[in-house]
Amino acid sequence: MSAPHLDPSLARPALTLLSEEELAFRDAVAEFARGEVAPRVQAMEQAGQLDPALIRGYFEMGLMGLQVPEVHGGAAGSVMMVTLAVEEISKVDAAAAIMVDVQNTLVAHPLLSAGTPEQLARWMPRLCTDTVGAYALSEAGSGSDAFALATRATQVEGGWSLTGRKLWITNGAEAGLYVVFATVDPSKGYKGITAFVVERTAKGFAVGKKESKLGIRASSTTELILDEVFVPDADVLGPVGQGYKIAIETLNEGRIGIGAQMIGNAQGALDAAVAHLKERRQFGKPLAEFQGIQFQVAQAATELEAARLMVYNAARLRDAGQDIAQAGAMAKLYSSQVCERVTSLAVELFGGYGYTTDYPVEKFYRDAKIGTIYEGTSNMQLQTIAKGILK
């Protein structure tokens, strides 16, 4: 990869941190988002689901296996590439972006880090070409206390029998492959947790209720029901009892993806607001010429740029093999906070128009809230950051 692009004419400092290849990739995804995602946003929002044709487009463009080695059909890319893809799609629709994020950070990543050669050869080509994946950790009684799992894995001849219910599973409706966490021995606490790969076609497995949500409505969020689902020994991911390590490492990387979603969503809202300010006239001149409004926009753009730099830094650290627990938590915490502020401001800058569904900013505003909740609430990020500082 070439040296970072240092063109001083670039509008935002974060872009100087990207190589020529990364800038070209970012631009290609941006073009795809404008051409393929944008025309579908309203229909997908109303239907509460992603257009299957768009999902096929993700596979055709190689966005569903960005870090997967070429031998398995992937792009052999980086976390930074995932970050850029999620950010660019989120500028148009955060709901459409989260599928790409989960596929790469929560499904492909744990398989790449803990899977056997046989598992990789079996599942990776599918995840890169036609199969959506999902990550199943949360339960009704296991949210921030992620390892208080009730889903039980009982050893049987030739494998394991899984019984339980999972909740809040992103991509649940579309997925054909699920990384499921269950405990083999509740008395061992987190040391009993084990990761399994479960196929949608497995007997006893079912997708349950689909949630109706405030934001990212086109992204499916479902319940999973496991009723004595047989999982062969060959489909255990990593060592038995080591699932908690896989889960933690996966969520650390996943938080970079959520940070990318938040900065993209915020940028989309700010771009829409700036365009409106240049067109909307009051008291004989465009709103953009009022200094009070200029200062608000400047403050929002500054905070957004700071959040982008934090997200990019966490991605770079991850690609360099560094510990990103604290950097990822900081990036997710701050980017989600900034996204809430920027999208709220965008609604206000649109005035009454901003409160209607005829204009895009109300959706950016609704889509922002999830960033402070999933893949670790803001309070959990603060706890992680504090532990790192005070250790």
Burial class (CB in 10 A: 0-12, 13-18, 19+), 274: middle
Integer Cα distance of 262 and 256 in angstroms: 10
CB 226 within 8 A of CB 164: yes
Q: Does 375 participate in catalysis according to the annotation? A: yes
Q: What is the pLDDT, as a whole number, of residue 323?
A: 95
What's the pLDDT score for residue 391?
85
List 87, 303, 305, 375, catalytic entry: 375
Do 37 and 54 meet the contact criterion of CB atoms below 8 Å apart? yes
- Residues 35, 193: Cα–Cα separation, whole Å: 43
Burial class, 358, CB count within 10 angstroms (exposed 0-12 / middle 13-18 / buried 19+): exposed
Structure tokens of 62?
A: 């190689």
**Residue 13 pLDDT:** 65
Sign, CA dihedral 151-153-154-159, equals: positive
Q: Walk me through the domains of the chain, giving residue ranges and CATH numbers.
A: 13-132 (1.10.540.10), 134-241 (2.40.110.10), 245-390 (1.20.140.10)
Residue 49: predicted pLDDT:
98
| CA proximity to 110, closest of 212, 226, 313, 253 | 253
The rounded average pLDDT for each run of 10 residues, N- to C-terminus, in the chain (391 residues) is 41 75 97 98 98 98 98 97 98 98 98 98 98 97 88 98 98 98 95 97 98 98 98 98 96 97 98 98 98 98 97 97 97 98 98 97 98 96 96 85
